[in-house]
Structure 1
């Protein structure tokens, strides 16, 4: 996140709305996403007048998810601008996702405090209910201070903050020009010497250590710090899904741990005698409900949030501290390097079996439907390496997550903390704006793309050269495969075949149906062209329960 310059003066404009908007822009917020109505019109214009780019979504939930994706993939805090009442309620699923993911965002919402107004809802309670932090601007004199507090809370505590702006207060004359207050001195982390010593001793004595890096390791310098320490103690490297790509290209990388793990990764992680989570919750998804932890394994966790230590499972060692600083301190204290898990035999197996594309499977494709594994492998071969992949939720999601490689941790955007379908397309828009030099790829299910279809127009209007791949099995696959084996009536979760390609064309996209691998020639043609319009692939896939979903359901 961009640092605050305490000496920079704020040009508040004529009203509180102007002061709030210009303050955020001066703090470094360069993108604001939203849907504009009467309550946030002046606020949004104040931000654009101060230099921020406004990105108009077609639905408020999409606006929040775009901001979430942008912040995750750029490392720069984005803002959201919403109308009062229904503008906020429409956005709540996106706010819940961001809050559960600890994405730093400032959501600006106009607010009606008159209970008899049609627009009135308890906006503070709405935010609190989904885990966001609620604040309110209550007076002209304190508007800048409250705005700065919202920004700092979002950045320093990694929180999604809802800043409510009552209409009557927005219209008040702003206070005179104000300098931004100096940021408070940071609190040192209370890492004890005993905690670090215990971790170092575990690293020193482990014969088969594995590092699992999570969201907290997606900071610049984390890869280098963890790779150096892993090399000294002989650890293999893995990530949670949200940090996929962090160790891309490292010969000792197992890629993703958990439901998306390859059979080899699952085997090697389960055999580990030490598992260290670095900024990683080690939750049921990353550890397959604990089945990836061997019975005699030592479990350690490093996190800046002391409440995260041991939150999802019992741990033997907990270190409260930043990933990079802790890894460097451990490396300095470790002493003599040793081989650990890094034997030649293990390296050869990772090279031969380390990708899902290397795992044999029976191709279930028919003349009318393509196996999603064959589709995903062919796409990985076809697409340029410099890509940013965003994945919606659903039965299909394991295929693009596992088969599509990404160049680094900023190449994979995974808004799945709330497990809502329909967020993937908006996620991809935010990721594309954050990484404009890469090909944006949206991996969607048919249910999710139809739920979020309003943003198809947004992609075309913004001129984003996006490839959207729809894994279309004409139903809600997770429910079909969960309830179908027990003989339940599935009429409520199956749908007639839909021409999603035609819907995309109506919104300004190029589009093609794909039923066989040879049909992907349309994608090759698009890639070789000027990509002046986005491209949607409506892939009619075979319907089968995904391996990751079977793993997830075993935990219930």
Structure 2
């Protein structure tokens, strides 16, 4: 990513913070005004440190190529967001002849081989487990890791779950519990709580994924596998920590051999999982009115209407559990869940990036009204790039999370509730096709857009009910 010096960097800091916290390998190129009297001058190195990025500076034309290559290596090998500062005075200098040709391109990040002793212990612990659950996280988001975990779970009778960022990894597997944590359906939470062993594979097992520890039974053995030793036990105590690449570790355990066990996969459980784990199968009281649609009803209908081959970018807020859990995704690359920093306003830009990366899929941006208004300028980007995107705005005329946080204690809400906003009109101003949805019947316009032809992206201004906080928000507040 490249930005302007000074304000270009500060304007991008929230997104850079999200990237740094989620350990996204990213190189940020930022010109740097080093003259203190320049109006563009800020301490860019200090800004990087403040948000958890790694600051690097080009110091001379002679060393520029090597320093750039080192910055790329750090981003790739350490999975870090690196701010590469480019002083204006140095930019004007000539790189020595042949410097590019002599540069050594960064090698791919090497997979970490687990210690044989750790693999032996992990194998023995799995052999003793009667109700194991595997929870796969960001470190498992590769086809090779998925296949190895599926095979290992088959051997030991483990149920499969993911953290939110890895949702879709086990899509279609009959033993998948979908997401563990605040987004878990009642049956999924019950089965995870009933495990006698939980293994986090490339997963932090943080407060969200484990519901502040409430998904871990009193006698549950907790194991964590991660290719960074510092991650082991960072969020909760583990009985066994294994430093190693997820796929390599799973395959090394498989190589130890052993008979296939029933484990947690009892007769009839697969049918119960299929019938009661998906949120759309969980009964609920539809609170829709003639003026407002229940966000669950909306999300289920959109899941049916939109093509299955999709990539969904989700903003933050009270609404975010509805698209995250009711809109299915085809695999681990189907959900862009930028919640490491939990800032609102990043969802639309996230979906734009996903749309560019995956032009073979329908991009869907799921936003709250607060986040949509914060990021509205990116509607122009969608139109200008000609992206066939669906933007869904869950519009409750408020910062919903704040309403449900402050309201029960009687705090005034006028600063977090807004007058009704016609976000559909905003979308039309940017050249979108739009539809305002108050009832399921209004969704016919969405079906018509999907059927085509599509001359413009689609914005759905969904007027959703706002009578209570989302289920995941209630879980989060209980945890605090």
Instruction: Give the shorter-chain TM-score range.
Output: over 0.9
Matched, 1:163 2:84: yes
Match for 2:268 among 345, 351, 366? 345
* Structure 2 partner of 1:17: none
* Structure 2 partner of 1:214: 137
Matched, 1:172 2:93: yes
1:113-148: CA deviation from partner (whole Å, max 9, x where unpaired): 111211111101100111101100111111111111
Match for 1:145 among 45, 48, 66? 66
Distance 1:400 1:187 in 2: 35
Counterpart contact for 2:76–2:108, Cα < 8 Å:
no
**Taking structure 1 as reference, are residues 185 and 357 closer, same or farther at Cα in structure 2, changes over 3 Å only?**
closer
Match for 2:446 among 523, 526, 536? 523
Match for 1:130 among 33, 39, 51? 51
* Structure 2 partner of 1:375: 298
* Structure 2 partner of 1:205: 128
Matched, 1:493 2:423: no
Matched, 1:441 2:364: yes
Secondary structure, aligned partner of 1:397: helix
Secondary structure, aligned partner of 1:248: coil
- Map 1:261-340 to 2 at 5 A: 261-340=184-263
Distance 1:339 1:325 in 2: 24
Matched, 1:423 2:329: no
Q: In structure 2, list runs of 5 or more residues that go unmatched.
A: none
Secondary structure, aligned partner of 1:155: helix
Distance 2:208 2:257 in 1: 31
Secondary structure, aligned partner of 1:338: coil
Match for 1:239 among 143, 147, 162? 162
The count of residues paired between Structure 1 and Structure 2 equals: 477
Distance 1:324 1:275 in 2: 17
Matched, 1:87 2:8: yes
1:236-278: CA deviation from partner (whole Å, max 9, x where unpaired): 0000000000000000001100011011100000000000000
Secondary structure, aligned partner of 1:406: coil
Counterpart contact for 1:376–1:400, Cα < 8 Å:
yes
Distance 1:318 1:197 in 2: 12
* Structure 2 partner of 1:255: 178
Distance 2:357 2:108 in 1: 30
Secondary structure, aligned partner of 2:143: coil
Shift, 1:92, TM fit: 0.6
* Structure 1 partner of 2:288: 365
Matched, 1:450 2:381: no
**Taking structure 1 as reference, are residues 499 and 294 closer, same or farther at Cα in structure 2, changes over 3 Å only?**
same
Secondary structure, aligned partner of 1:470: strand
Counterpart contact for 1:278–1:301, Cα < 8 Å:
yes
Distance 2:38 2:311 in 1: 44
Matched, 1:549 2:473: yes
Distance 1:306 1:531 in 2: 49
Match for 2:321 among 351, 375, 398? 398
* Structure 2 partner of 1:48: none
Distance 2:291 2:366 in 1: 20
Match for 2:425 among 486, 502, 507? 502
* Structure 1 partner of 2:42: 121
Counterpart contact for 1:304–1:321, Cα < 8 Å:
yes
Secondary structure, aligned partner of 1:124: helix
- Map 1:178-197 to 2 at 5 A: 178=99, 179=101, 180-181=103-104, 183=106, 189=112, 191-197=114-120
Secondary structure, aligned partner of 1:301: strand
RMSD: 1.2
Counterpart contact for 1:204–1:334, Cα < 8 Å:
no
Distance 1:89 1:475 in 2: 27
Shift, 1:183, TM fit: 4.5
Counterpart contact for 2:113–2:248, Cα < 8 Å:
no
**Taking structure 1 as reference, are residues 333 and 199 closer, same or farther at Cα in structure 2, changes over 3 Å only?**
same
1:313-339: CA deviation from partner (whole Å, max 9, x where unpaired): 000000000000000001111411111
**Taking structure 1 as reference, are residues 425 and 192 closer, same or farther at Cα in structure 2, changes over 3 Å only?**
same
**Taking structure 1 as reference, are residues 322 and 190 closer, same or farther at Cα in structure 2, changes over 3 Å only?**
closer
Counterpart contact for 2:58–2:87, Cα < 8 Å:
yes
Pick which of 195-204 and 446-455 moved more: 195-204
**Taking structure 1 as reference, are residues 473 and 187 closer, same or farther at Cα in structure 2, changes over 3 Å only?**
closer
Secondary structure, aligned partner of 1:162: strand
Distance 2:325 2:244 in 1: 31
**Taking structure 1 as reference, are residues 208 and 135 closer, same or farther at Cα in structure 2, changes over 3 Å only?**
same
1:199-239: CA deviation from partner (whole Å, max 9, x where unpaired): 11111111100000000011231110100000001000000
Distance 1:189 1:418 in 2: 28
**Taking structure 1 as reference, are residues 225 and 188 closer, same or farther at Cα in structure 2, changes over 3 Å only?**
closer
Distance 2:462 2:337 in 1: 21
Counterpart contact for 1:463–1:532, Cα < 8 Å:
no
Distance 1:190 1:223 in 2: 17
Counterpart contact for 2:279–2:326, Cα < 8 Å:
yes
**Taking structure 1 as reference, are residues 88 and 188 closer, same or farther at Cα in structure 2, changes over 3 Å only?**
closer
